[in-house]
Structure 1
Amino acid sequence: MPVHEERFAPGAPCWADVMVDDLDRARDFYGALFGWTFEDPVPEAGGYVMVRKDGHVVAGAMARNPDDPGQVNAWTVYLATDDVDETAARAAAAGGVFFLEPMDVLEVGRIAVGADPAGAAYGLWQSMEHTGTDLVDEPGALCWAESMSRDYEASTRFYADVFGYRLQETGEGGVQYSVARLEGEEPVAGIGAIPAQAAADVRSHWMVYFAVADCDAAADRVTSLGGSVVQPPFDTPHGRLSVVTGAQGETFSVMQLPAAAAEPAG
């Protein structure tokens, strides 16, 4: 079991949380889909809820403020940093904007939330007591994240400048896609161009991927739980994946990693 309790390298996706209208409905949906358990909301943290898988913290959840038109039901990906303020300043200088300026979250960490020049929202996380997800690359845990952009050149330039991503173009057949590396050789994230044929309302965004033991079974379960399948399961060199939405319209992806193929569905 890939337990990850140490700090994530600066620039690596380290956390994801979901904002929804109804936390109880999210608890039912994700509990049945991934086997997640939800802790009680923390009043001093604005009602934020920590989510666990097999005892490990894997994600967060919060209720949307119905009086704030800027909030939508969506997943947010957080990139690790050793200094939120310095990284936010560098991001702003590179053309990014921030909706939530750097601030402390109790004693667990320091946060900022903004968007890159192409409009994809993301968060920054400077860990203190909370380093990020405790479990990776296991069914029900974070296994990949990527920025899908309406301005591919602007996005690749931004993340290379701000986070030091070393980008390798891997797209084929007219597809623009790069994998990002930091100091090591292992890819940490991806940056892709939204295809021209995509619907006009598909905006630049960060996509979060959660591992599953059986992609087809997970996609079927999503629909039975009130969600929908945006892109049916298909094979890639890195695993079988499907793009789905939760019961409240939030988009994410499920991915069957090659090593998970022999495990029971979950």
Structure 2
Amino acid sequence: MPVHEESFAPGTPCWADVMVDDLDRARAFYGSLFGWTFQDLPPEAGGYVMARKDGHVVAGAMAKNPDDPGQVSAWTVYLATDDVEATVERAREAGGVFFLGPMDVLQVGRIAVGADPAGAAYGLWQAKEHTGTDLVDEPGSLCWAESMSRSYEASKTFYADVFGYRLQEIGEGGFQYSVATLEGDTPIGGIGAIPAAAPADVPSHWMTYFAVADADAAADRVTALGGTVMQPPFDTPYGRMALVAGPQGETFSVMQLPAQPAAD
């Protein structure tokens, strides 16, 4: 089981949380879909809850602020950093904006949330007691994240300049997509151009992927639980995946990872 309890390398997607109108409804949906259990945090956490899978923290959830009509139901991807202030400064110099933080989150870490020059929202996480997800690439846990952009070249430049992404173009057939690595050769995320066939009102965004044992069964389960299948399961060289939305409209993807060869 890929347990990941140490800190993530700066620039790595390390956490994801969802903001919705009805937190109880989200708990029921994701609990049934992924087998998550939920841990209520102290009152000073503002109603934030931690989702756990097999005892490991894997994601967060919170209710919208009723006094902020601009909030939307959505998943947010957080990128690891060793220094929130320095990263925010680099991001601003590269054309990014911020609408939250930098600020401390209790004793567990330091946060900022903003958007890249293409308008895709993301968060920054400087770990203290909480390093991020403790489980990766297992059913019910984070397995991939990507920035899908209306300004592909600008997004590539931004993430390379701010986080040091090394980008390898793998797109084909008119689809533009780059895989990001850091110091080594292990992919940590992706940057893609929103396809021309996508509806015009789809904005630049970060997409969160959760691993599942069976993409087709997960898509059926989403529908049964009141969600929506936005793009039915399809095969890729990296696994079988589907784009879905929860009952409150928040989009995410599920991915059935390829079977790994048995160790000798």
Shift of 1:243: 0.2
Contact 1:42 1:49 in 2 (8 A): no
TM-score by length of 1: 0.97
What corresponds to 2:106 in structure 1?
Answer: 106
Partner Cα distance (2:243, 2:198) in 1:
14
What corresponds to 2:202 in structure 1?
Answer: 202
Q: Which runs of 5+ in 2 are unaligned?
A: none
1:61-104 deviation line (CA, Å, top 9, x unaligned): 00001221221100000000000000001000100000102000
1:235-264 deviation line (CA, Å, top 9, x unaligned): 000000000000111000000001289xxx
Partner Cα distance (1:217, 1:66) in 2:
35
Partner Cα distance (2:110, 2:10) in 1:
14
Counting only pairs closer than 5 Å after superposition, residues 29-108 of structure 1 correspond to structure 2 as 29-108=29-108
Partner Cα distance (1:144, 1:59) in 2:
13
Q: Which runs of 5+ in 1 are unaligned?
A: 262-266
What corresponds to 1:182 in structure 2?
Answer: 182
SS of the residue 1:90 aligns to: helix
TM-score by length of 2: 0.97
SS of the residue 2:259 aligns to: helix
What corresponds to 1:11 in structure 2?
Answer: 11
Counting only pairs closer than 5 Å after superposition, residues 123-134 of structure 1 correspond to structure 2 as 123-134=123-134
What corresponds to 1:168 in structure 2?
Answer: 168
SS of the residue 1:240 aligns to: strand
Partner Cα distance (1:122, 1:220) in 2:
29
CA spacing shift, 1:5–1:88, aligned 2, 3 Å: same
**Is 2:139 the counterpart of 1:158?**
no
Partner Cα distance (1:162, 1:3) in 2:
28
Contact 1:222 1:246 in 2 (8 A): yes
SS of the residue 2:17 aligns to: strand
Contact 1:58 1:142 in 2 (8 A): yes
Partner Cα distance (2:201, 2:135) in 1:
33
User: How much identity, in percent, do the aligned residues show?
Assistant: 82
Partner Cα distance (1:74, 1:50) in 2:
16
What corresponds to 1:226 in structure 2?
Answer: 226
State how many pairs are aligned. 261
Contact 1:213 1:260 in 2 (8 A): no
